[in-house]
Chain A
């Protein structure tokens, strides 16, 4: 640690970090564009100027390129620095097109924020602005507007140092410089949308989000991407305007949330699109298949049918969930099967095959909670359950978030075996092959409509939060289990209080022992026995 004096106040900071980072960490905001915590320093925007005492007197330096040293005396508020700051801002705005009314970045634009906080000056520009290309689609998901670009080169540094795909460069020279790919080439890597995130202005925008929604209508909820076992920390952004608006709850995007231990500031392009399942292909209300096509019904009837099926099975019930479930769901599901359905037969196996993996973020295991499943064993295998169905030892199957019919290689064969069941109760959020085969279909919320926790591939427990109650007629899984239990006149211990549920979990799962919910917080914590694992 080092001690530095900032604006006459002594503060303790981490030694060796850039002065700018130390100031930001201490809560002293210094405006900046080109500096990014997870990218190499460039020092080209010149916005982060601060005054530093040297033996020769005060000196203006850029704080991003100045490593902290013990005893430094720094000022961020002198007249000279404020003038220099305003000067840089004015320069950034000389050729910048005032596209705010049509620019997606409005509301989360660093240039707008800087201007409101440090500029607020009248424009003195009395010459023709430099014109460059606008609306260049340089990647499947990336739209480039060269005029808006402030040439901070964060996008280039990302492509050079993180995705190591080197698609971007600055062409030309002087104020005619422009960001470009090689003519005819595109940004072609699995992390391209991160360039949109790092772009401080609206030069790089996401084609998927283009013109769809103003960011001030979006509510942000902390979540964990469920696309693979990396468990990138994400921010789920959904519409949230006035209470009467029908659109409320509509998902618009998933953006990364910084976690230096897991995903730094990045997410893969694929994972970002997972917000779409919140809007599309949802099961809106319970359905019943009476030997005919499934029809929508009220919950009362749905619960009744399900309860009837369960009691009629007399213990010949099995449950199938998956590593897509949160730790809490796995725990409560097992409890439901044991105590309410009287069965010990349960599988959490998924038929989803491993996919693409690299050493940046993507993992081959495309489930968010495989480790969490491991911790809460023992489980039966999927095959054991199917064999049991086939042999008619299992008459009722309860499925929670597992589309085995859609994922299986031998779907039709499986389907035939399932026909021997008295009832197939499916609890899921989106339509699938399995939900279509259900005799009782109970809709529940997506990843964005439940709170819980996952354990990622390296044993890190991470929390996900709920943006809103499940949309349409869907209910939380806890609600489903509890109501069914009540119908069957069995007690069911659980809670809507996340801390209580976690405490329950921590008492039963040895890897969670002694870990309080607060400890997990927003950045996660390593499970017991995994503390020495390092992130790859």
Chain B
């Protein structure tokens, strides 16, 4: 299987532009600049490439939504705010092949008519940001970034923008808010970024991995891309496997690859003495899978949807028999409570409440009725699960309508794990509650250390 994203990894000095060019780098850019921009968009559309950040929206289609008649400049934002627990592919891409990302950006910007691109990189990626800036300087010196690049008449500037520690800046409108200089709080959609995005101008937001696929697609053609993967999930994806496996790492495989093989072959299988209890298939926001489901699961968007979960960012977290599901859920709920932007009521208050209830259950202070309470709280914060929504089956109810109760899907990203863990591993929660002593003293610092600033007024 040809490698689309990780082809240059492992080469010595792979970050250098010289090494990149020695292996054919920037030749596709040269070729693209001679194409019609609309032809590039068509190629990407026909390849069926889907967003690799988590949502899985067809990339080429997203590009066609851009309002090209607004008279405003078009902006391109690359989402390098990789913060979904279990995911670390973008970090490796920026470590090993920053020029692939740049080439992808330049080709994509040329296709959509954008002259200014931002790479929004999470603040914790200090070294990766350094690598990206170095790569930008190298590309400028070689004439791939700047005015009238390669004599094509096309201007392009790329800015690497450093975040400062907020998971919600990975949500596309949260990213745009942060980039504009505000708190990274998502916005009400519609209007969508393709119509009104950065500075109210038409904007495309794409994940790092998605853009890195573009050079290969243009070089080898859409058909070559669709030859891999499945019909509705073509191509390859970089999956990340972590947890107590022998070889935790990232692996680029075709979509549709069996999950059990990913764990047992590529990741070397579970460590000695460790048994599989559960597996998160696509990053912490995705409903969990039992070992029986893991044996059946194929890693593509449709197959996982049919099982009631999502491919998401492809961050596979292996949960061993030694890990209490109650503790794991408590851990994730605390994460979401800490990362909630705080804008809308259900998520802001609900995430904190859910986290505290789970902290209580995990610490032996659970109460009867807590499970039902958690379910109800999740129901009140996640979007309605209308027919055919992947979580329908395990929710076992048809809510008969769509729409959402919050501004963005962060609340769903909390509710899906909570409800799926409560349903599939209910016995662990029941046991924790049965053995609990609810009147045990609650320690003073029950909530996670989000230091509350003392205000001087």
Contacts and interface: CB of A to CB of B under 8 A. Distances in A.
Chains A and B directly touch (beta carbon < 8 Å): yes
Interface string B345-358: 11011111100110
B293 interface: no
Interface string A63-100: 00100000000000000100110011011101100000
A58 B387 CA distance: 11
A381 to B, nearest CB: 51
B341 A95 contact: no
A1 B87 CA distance: 52
A174 interface: yes
Contacts of A183: 455-457
A281 interface: no
A44 B348 CA distance: 10
A497 interface: no
A494 to B, nearest CB: 55
A184 B452 CA distance: 17
A49 interface: yes
Contacts of B340: 173-175
A57 B386 contact: yes
B380 A91 contact: yes
Nearest to A144: B457
Interface in B370-414: 373, 379-381, 384, 386, 399-407
Interface stretch (B33-41, B261-269, B442-450): B442-450
Given A46-B346, A172-B342, A127 B400 contact: no
A91 B346 contact: yes
B15 interface: no
For chain B, which range describes its interface: under 10, 10 to 19, 20 to 34, or 35 or more residues?
A: 35 or more
Contacts of B342: 151, 170, 172-177
A57 B401 contact: yes
B384 to A, nearest CB: 6
B450 A176 contact: yes
Interface string A37-68: 00000011111010110101111111001000
B45 interface: no
A49 B349 contact: no
Contacts of A88: 345-346, 380, 405
A132 B373 CA distance: 26
A65 B188 contact: yes
A94 B352 CA distance: 9
B403 A174 contact: no
Nearest to B400: A58
Contacts of A58: 400-403
Contacts of B401: 51, 57-60, 80
B330 interface: no
A138 interface: yes
B360 interface: yes
B67 interface: no
Interface string A113-151: 000000000001111101111001110000000000011
Interface of B: 166, 183, 188, 337-346, 348-353, 356-357, 360, 367, 373, 379-381, 384, 386, 399-407, 442, 446-447, 450, 452-453, 455-457
16 contacts: A43-B344, A45-B345, A51-B403, A58-B400, A58-B402, A60-B405, A83-B380, A91-B345, A128-B447, A132-B452, A151-B342, A151-B343, A174-B338, A174-B339, A174-B342, A184-B457
Given A49-B403, A178-B455, 12 more contacts: A47-B345, A60-B401, A60-B404, A61-B403, A65-B188, A87-B381, A132-B452, A172-B342, A173-B341, A174-B342, A175-B351, A184-B457
